[in-house]
């Protein structure tokens, strides 16, 4: 079988596609044939050496496939079941802890960039029944992060106002979820073409953040005093504007650090507006199962920008780094 392998020192140049022996299923485990993967920035960080990992690591946290063999003692799954991975394979339910979030797929444990894996039954959830493998592969990190931010934490409801930033996977899923719950959505981008696509997906107001450098104040004015929820993806580059955009007692959910690791906050402004700023890293298995049920009843389908074969994984990462994509980049492992 073919597998993507990270060799140290990690870089896109040392990322290889190799032949490996097919794994043997064990008691209490299941064997999965991965059909499709999707890329997150975290995956690039591992493959490019920006985050530490082990020699020989198989990357990529997000995958969708089918169960091809069930080990003795497993009752939850059967051969032919269509499944998705978990970003945190040990986080089943409840609040996150060090123990439940210590292992990350494609980082501290092998990921899905391989034709076949033997995994714990609890490290999988069902796919939405109305999704293809490629569509389902986009969900475990980006969609679940948006779901947790808006639904599990934000308790979003009809009439709420939501700001999403940029056109990455989390932001687009957040836009789609917010509209499905009846919210008004404000969206930013620096590309006129991408702004138009955000409108087509349902954004009620769009702002070019390069033209309007005080877009946080603009959103605050457009929303008559600030939005209820902000999905902040830029960290240091966007947090000040996110704080400006949100209403008194509103919520900023920090889900990205693309703009840097150190951010300055105007504490007086923050305290006067009594806002909630909370970092969020994906979610639990129970949250993912709840999200799947919701997606099966909604009309939400992921925005897939481009698909690459597994043999072109390094090139897919380079395309991801270019920032040209709108939505998710998918890797086809098996037809």
In a domain, 286, yes or no: no
Q: Does residue 216 sit in the same domain as residue 235?
A: yes
In a domain, 318, yes or no: yes
- Name the nearest CA neighbour of 31 among 124, 138, 135: 124
Query: How, if at all, do strands 124-126 and 227-232 pair?
Result: unpaired
Q: Does residue 321 sit in the same domain as residue 236?
A: no
Q: Does residue 189 sit in the same domain as residue 268?
A: yes
Tens digit of each residue's pLDDT (9 = 90 or more) over 79-112:
999 999 999 999 999 999 999 999 999 999 999 9
Query: How, if at all, do strands 227-232 and 161-165 pair?
Result: parallel
- The span from the CA of 143 to the CA of 91, in Å, is 17
63 is written with which tokens? 């995958």
Helix (H/G/I), strand (E/B), else coil: 292: helix
CB 144 within 8 A of CB 87: yes
Q: Does residue 105 sit in the same domain as residue 171?
A: no
Q: Does residue 165 sit in the same domain as residue 85?
A: no
Q: Does residue 194 sit in the same domain as residue 309?
A: no
By mean pLDDT, which of 107-116, 211-220, 263-272 is the weakest? 263-272
Q: Does residue 185 sit in the same domain as residue 270?
A: yes
- The span from the CA of 15 to the CA of 262, in Å, is 30
- The span from the CA of 53 to the CA of 172, in Å, is 29
Residue 316 host element (H or E): helix 313-322
271 is written with which tokens? 């305290």
> CATH number for the domain including 217?
3.40.50.720
CB 214 within 8 A of CB 220: no
175: containing domain: 142-279
Domain count, the chain: 2
In a domain, 79, yes or no: yes
In a domain, 291, yes or no: no
Q: Does residue 44 sit in the same domain as residue 100?
A: yes
Please check the confidence at residue 284 and state whether its pLDDT lies above 70: yes
In a domain, 290, yes or no: no
Burial of 84 (0-12, 13-18, 19+ CB in 10 A): buried
- Name the nearest CA neighbour of 327 among 137, 178, 156, 59: 137
In a domain, 289, yes or no: no
Q: Does residue 166 sit in the same domain as residue 120?
A: no
Looking up tokens 């996150």 gives: 96
By mean pLDDT, which of 138-142, 179-183, 263-267, 321-325 is the weakest? 263-267
Q: What is the pTM of this model?
A: 0.96
Confidence (pLDDT) at 335: 67
> CATH number for the domain including 54?
3.90.180.10
Q: Give strand pairing partners of 277.
A: 252
In a domain, 297, yes or no: no
């Amino acid at each position: 079988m073919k597998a993507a392998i990270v060799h140290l020192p990690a870089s896109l140049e040392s990322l290889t596609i190799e032949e490996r022996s097919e794994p043997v299923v064990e008691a209490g485990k299941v064997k999965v044939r991965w059909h499709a993967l999707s890329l997150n920035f975290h995956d690039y960080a591992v493959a490019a050496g920006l985050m530490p990992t082990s020699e020989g690591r198989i990357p990529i946290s997000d995958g969708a496939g089918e169960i091809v063999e069930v080990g003795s003692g497993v009752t939850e799954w059967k051969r032919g079941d269509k499944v998705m991975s978990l970003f945190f394979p040990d986080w089943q339910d409840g609040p996150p802890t060090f123990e439940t979030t210590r292992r990350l797929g494609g980082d501290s444990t092998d990921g899905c960039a391989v034709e076949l894996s033997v995994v714990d039954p609890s490290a999988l959830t069902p796919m939405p029944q109305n999704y293809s493998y490629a569509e389902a592969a986009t969900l475990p990190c980006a969609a679940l992060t948006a779901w947790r931010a808006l639904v599990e934490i934000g308790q979003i409801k009809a009439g709420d106002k939501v700001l999403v930033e940029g056109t990455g996977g989390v932001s687009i899923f957040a836009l789609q979820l917010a509209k499905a719950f009846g919210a008004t959505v404000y969206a930013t981008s620096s590309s006129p073409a991408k702004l138009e696509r955000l409108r087509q997906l349902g954004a009620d107001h769009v702002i070019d953040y390069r033209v309007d450098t005080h877009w946080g104040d603009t959103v605050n004015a457009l929303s008559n005093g600030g939005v209820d929820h902000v999905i902040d993806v830029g960290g240091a580059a966007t947090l000040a504007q996110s704080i400006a955009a949100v209403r008194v007692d509103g919520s900023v959910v920090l889900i990205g650090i693309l703009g840097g690791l150190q951010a300055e906050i105007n504490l007086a402004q923050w305290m006067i507006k009594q806002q909630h700023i909370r970092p969020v890293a994906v979610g639990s298995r129970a949250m993912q199962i709840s999200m799947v049920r919701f997606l099966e009843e909604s009309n939400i389908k992921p925005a897939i920008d481009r698909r690459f074969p597994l043999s072109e994984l390094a090139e897919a990462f380079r395309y991801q780094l270019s920032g040209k994509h709108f939505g998710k980049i998918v890797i086809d492992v098996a037809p």
